[in-house]
Structure 1
Amino acid sequence: MFKAIVAAVASFLHIQAATAGWTSDATYTNAKPATLAADPYVRWDAKTGQYWAYSTDGAEDGWLFGIYTSPDLATWHKQPGGAIRNSNESRIWANDWFWAPECYYNEKTGWYFFFYAGRYTDPQKVAAYFKYPDFEEASKVGVAVSRSPGGPFINIDQKPIDYFPFDPDYRDVNLLMSPPYLVPPATLVEGNTAPLGTYIPFIDPNVFFDDDGSIWLFFSRNAYRNWVWSAEFARYVEESNIYAVRLDDAWWRDPHARTMPAVHASFRDAHKGEPKDWQTSVNASFPGPTRKDGWVPVISYKLGPQVWENAHVYDYEASQGTRKNRRWSEGSTTIKRRDSAGNAVYFLTYSANNFESPDYGVGYAYASKVSGPYTKSPSNPILSQDPSKSIYSTGHGSIVAAQGKESGNAELFYTHHARPSTSAGRYLYNARLFVEPDSLYVGFGPSAGDLRLPRGVAPFSIAAKPSSASAWDVTVRSASGAEFDLANPGNRLLAWVEGATGAQVSVQGSTVHVSGATGSNAKLYVRYQRARWNETEPWANVSQSSGIGAKAQFVQTVLPLSRHQKRGELEEEL
């Protein structure tokens, strides 16, 4: 047998990612995405040293919500199972439409909180939250907990959060319509004959923790049961809007994670007694809710009409009567910054238009208070389809700081879903995000080409160990110790043998197979490579160095066994 030494070597690109003086030319590309993930929420987990993404889809049979991990926000590894077992042991409360998960970690208690949307279809449950047992699309938000970012998550209780949002001023035109509720009244006069008041179905939870200790839930009012008269188009359009409500903090402080989130006292039953003569139930067989909680409007067409949000107001005609005329505002994320005078600026990104449509895109709004009022940017949409780059249906993402190091100058990324074609599924994409509070600006870096990795990924390390007489298992890790999935199309090992004739080398993911190599001088070399945008030269060798301006420690030689591995040289004896 022969002595084998693994070395990751060489250099190509000058774009750098750095941590503690280490730089690397490793990059990523959004071309040919590999990870199917819808409505992704991404967070950095310091305990595991990697990024975790939670998705509406991607779970295996018997599970809900896919989970993925990544050392670099670009190449992902799908975790087995999912976030929540679809079984009684998880205290499942909803019947279907499990959507838009988000996960938050409390460092003081060690609990992970998993928020998500689900829908009731059981008439008794539907009536308990929405008065009418046949209420259309009865969506609510639930919370599950775990000690691990990978779950399994168990619902705190077998019911949604303690929140009953109510709109006392809405004319419930559904009561004038017939199933499948596609055709609203033809005139505003007719619509105004509908009775006032409705409970609000809601989805897409996003929890914002303000630095004054208050906790806010931003959510999308599900479009169902929200027909809004448009004088501009002389018709009713069914809308989803984004609202906010303050939550109490007992659930967050509970060291045992047994307390369900509830609406803050300032919003609890804010619409009590409205509208006049409201009946709480249809009949004695279906007792309805007795509370009427408040909310704050954040994003709607009325609050800030923008033309790009009107892509589907004629869908009924275009679909030959199979779809509703609609507008969407959903998938929001909120961050806080301070301008140069120290004033708070809240930025909220949101998605608009149908998620199935190429026109799905991202806009943003800003406010001086967490409760608003929010002003939509005239630059909207700031992220949208680009057929020249084969990117469509961009949206519903989350904002994450590199390695979770949230600060005024944090390196931010917006990880979202998009489609590589108009008929493809939703894949996970990553975009550099820039926020300038003085100019109230939010924008994105380039989405094409070879893109810089987030800070903190370098230095890489590489290790290998024999798994058989002719095979070696190779591991590449980030600076935090997170392992790269070498089967991911964005990563690759390049291996060869020197000092021997007739050697045959093959690589399958992280495993290198060698046969036919003889001689005492035979050595095995392995390089770690990253996929490039340029199809004529699709791979680049990864190199790195320590210290800005210091001599680069590119590995170009093999160290003898007796010498210690240098951290910057990515070397290891097998």
Structure 2
Amino acid sequence: MIRAALLLAAAGVASALYSDATYTNANPTTIAADPYVRWDVQTGAYWAYSTEGAEDGWLFGIYTSPDMATWSKVPGGAIKNETDSLVWAQDWFWAPECYYNEETGWYFLFYAGRYKEPKLVAEYFKYPDFEEASKIGVAVSRHPDGPFVNIEANPIDYYPFDPNYRDVNLIMDPPYLVPPATEEAGATAPNGTYIPSIDANVFFDDSGSIWLFFSRNAYRNWVWDDVFGEYVEESNIYAVQLDEAWWHDPDATTMPAVHQNFRDVYQGMPEDWVSSVNDSYPGPTRKDGWVAIVSSKLQPQVWENAHVHDYAASNGTLKNRRWSEGSTTIKRYDSSGNPVYFLTYSANNYESPDYGVGYAYASSVDGPYFKSDSNPILSQNPSREVYSTGHGSIIGAMGSDTELFYPHHARPSVNATRYLYNARLFVEPDSLYMGFGAEAGDLRWPHGVAPLTVAAAVASGNGSAGTTWTVSVESASGAAFNLSHPSNRLLAWVEGNNATAVEVEVVGGNVTVGGKPGGEVKVVYQRARANETEPWRNVSQAESIWSDWDVVATTLTT
């Protein structure tokens, strides 16, 4: 609580910290896939960026919240899908993540997108028909709600190359569902391929280095599995160090680029490599490096094998696949002062009930990483009607390093779209532990939300015909609650001798009293509860657990 008090004092808010408010991690209302959540000190609110949820003509949904539980949708989206935004990709805009530089005042939005036009595909992947040519882009804005504009009309300056990969796609037939039947047959394929990239996560090490973690898109990455005796198409998690010029550029006009330690490290490999297919499609000449972080080859785990036999199970319509993607990395120190890096990732198909979250740990940012034997640590729970849990981000309350949460997407049914859920996360470096708290019931909201304030202003009327007030509820940092959200409500009534003769109507934040009230109009802020015997409860707060607790309420006067 001391840290929370210091954070609130720095933000210029009152010292009352205690509240009995709760939230329920159920009945979702916020459509959000691959959510990235961050605390924004400029606005005093949490911001979520999502693959889905943008309006027509926009890319990536944006939501904001005072409590990381009740969200408001920002109109439009993150990037206007038009020429002025320097949009370079042609589809598959996935997994946005936003980072704020306090020194320069710029917000950076990293995301994945795919090229489809053959000439552009060949420019980054050599082959004009390269399957699923995805890259990482970066857009910037002065505001967390955008609009974001791409720094340049092209992806980041990075050409990841795998010189030792036998590109079995070159000896396969479209639609590339059936790989070679034996490892020996696959070994006849040419060596070398460029790596399609998705699910960017930027990690700022306290050493000063900047790292990009990303997923090697499963498409075109056929890996021989000795256990099953077959090729499986995999996505793996890799990392690469970035330069720092882009981060410190006061004008945000510098594109991120791979650090010189990783630039062109595979030049000359393999010896027989030809950089282009023909003169019409000049291919890339750079061959940048990377570090393998998570893959089945590095460390197999049985729970990640839910889809390795999908070809037979689907009567030949799906590929045999294995996923490791959607990573987030944090750094902690054990009791001896040694660094421990924790990396969460998602495995299995995002549409599958088997989709879940695991983690790995390392003593160095570039590994080696070791998967936990506790995996998966987050998975579906049919008893709660929560399915396909995965691809989230790690955020501390008010951006702190304590009281961690893992906002992630999940489905309320096996066929539903993805919504935003939130789980409390616990990390213990000494025991290399990462796990989640209770996910059901009435859950305590993050510290720093209280004390709440209530304000009211007359919107219309103020006479014998009736009066409408607009009522707002704000967090300690000034972020407004969405009173139309099904987890929030105002309860209003008239106290006095004439109370029964006056009708009171509440719609969101609008309180309308018909006629002239014969007493005071009382308004109380309530939160929805999982407890069926008391589905709504007044929110109370106090300066200390020993002082009197006050209901969050106001009195309206005419």
What's 1:483 paired with?
A: 480
Distance 1:456 1:358 in 2: 35
Match of 2:411 among 419, 424, 429: 419
**What is the CA-CA distance between 1:114 and the residue it aligns to?**
0.4
- Give the letter aligned to residue 472 of structure 2: T
- Give the letter aligned to residue 117 of structure 2: D
Render the CA deviation track for 1:487-512: whole Å, top value 9, x for unaligned.
01111111111222311111111111
Render the CA deviation track for 1:117-162: whole Å, top value 9, x for unaligned.
0000000000000000000000000000000000000000000000
**What is the CA-CA distance between 1:339 and the residue it aligns to?**
0.3
1:267 aligns with 2:259: no
Distance 2:542 2:287 in 1: 61
Match of 1:361 among 351, 356, 363: 356
Q: Contact between 1:21 and 1:548, CA under 8 Å: does it hold in 2?
A: no
Distance 1:108 1:50 in 2: 19
- Give the letter aligned to residue 507 of structure 2: Q
Q: Contact between 1:502 and 1:517, CA under 8 Å: does it hold in 2?
A: no
SS of equivalent to 2:89: coil
Distance 1:572 1:496 in 2: 10
What's 1:563 paired with?
A: none
Matches within 5 A, 1:213-292: 213-292=208-287
Distance 2:141 2:27 in 1: 34
What's 1:187 paired with?
A: 182
SS of equivalent to 1:189: helix
Match of 1:332 among 319, 327, 333: 327
SS of equivalent to 2:345: strand
**What is the CA-CA distance between 1:554 and the residue it aligns to?**
2.2
Q: Contact between 1:463 and 1:572, CA under 8 Å: does it hold in 2?
A: no
Matches within 5 A, 1:476-555: 476-499=473-496, 500=498, 501-519=500-518, 522-549=519-546, 551-555=547-551
Distance 1:505 1:293 in 2: 67
1:37 aligns with 2:28: no
Render the CA deviation track for 1:300-355: whole Å, top value 9, x for unaligned.
00111100000001111111111100000000000000000000000000000000
**What is the CA-CA distance between 1:29 and the residue it aligns to?**
0.4
Match of 1:571 among 547, 554, 558: 554
Assess, with a 3 A threshold, how the Cα gap between structure 1 residues 292 and 518 changes in structure 2: closer, same or farther: closer
What's 2:388 paired with?
A: 393
1:320 aligns with 2:315: yes
Match of 2:438 among 446, 457, 463: 446
**What is the CA-CA distance between 1:570 and the residue it aligns to?**
4.3
Distance 2:133 2:418 in 1: 25
Identity of aligned residues (%): 71
- Equivalent pairs, count: 539
Q: Contact between 1:460 and 1:570, CA under 8 Å: does it hold in 2?
A: no
What's 1:431 paired with?
A: 423
SS of equivalent to 1:126: helix
What's 2:366 paired with?
A: 371
What's 1:560 paired with?
A: none
What's 2:66 paired with?
A: 71
- Give the letter aligned to residue 54 of structure 1: Y
**Structure 1 runs of 4+ with >3 Å offset:** 17-21, 516-519, 569-574
- Give the letter aligned to residue 548 of structure 1: I
Q: Contact between 1:462 and 1:572, CA under 8 Å: does it hold in 2?
A: no
What's 2:106 paired with?
A: 111
Bigger shift: 181-190 or 291-300? Answer: 181-190
What's 1:7 paired with?
A: none
Match of 1:151 among 141, 146, 156: 146
1:27 aligns with 2:26: no
What's 2:471 paired with?
A: 474
Q: Contact between 2:16 and 2:451, CA under 8 Å: does it hold in 1?
A: no
- Give the letter aligned to residue 498 of structure 1: E
Q: Contact between 2:197 and 2:217, CA under 8 Å: does it hold in 1?
A: yes
Distance 2:164 2:101 in 1: 38
Distance 2:354 2:508 in 1: 37
What's 2:341 paired with?
A: 346
Render the CA deviation track for 1:160-179: whole Å, top value 9, x for unaligned.
00000000010000001111
Render the CA deviation track for 1:233-257: whole Å, top value 9, x for unaligned.
1111000000000000000010000
Distance 1:526 1:360 in 2: 44
Matches within 5 A, 1:57-136: 57-136=52-131
SS of equivalent to 1:398: coil
Q: Contact between 2:26 and 2:421, CA under 8 Å: does it hold in 1?
A: no
Distance 1:531 1:427 in 2: 18
Q: Contact between 2:114 and 2:133, CA under 8 Å: does it hold in 1?
A: yes
**What is the CA-CA distance between 1:548 and the residue it aligns to?**
3.3
What's 1:299 paired with?
A: 294
What's 1:201 paired with?
A: 196
**What is the CA-CA distance between 1:571 and the residue it aligns to?**
3.4
Distance 2:372 2:301 in 1: 10
Q: Is there any run of 5+ residues in structure 2 with no aligned partner, and where?
A: 9-14, 462-466
Q: Contact between 1:352 and 1:360, CA under 8 Å: does it hold in 2?
A: yes
Distance 2:86 2:17 in 1: 47
Distance 1:449 1:365 in 2: 29
Q: Is there any run of 5+ residues in structure 1 with no aligned partner, and where?
A: 1-16, 556-568
SS of equivalent to 2:64: strand
What's 1:48 paired with?
A: 43
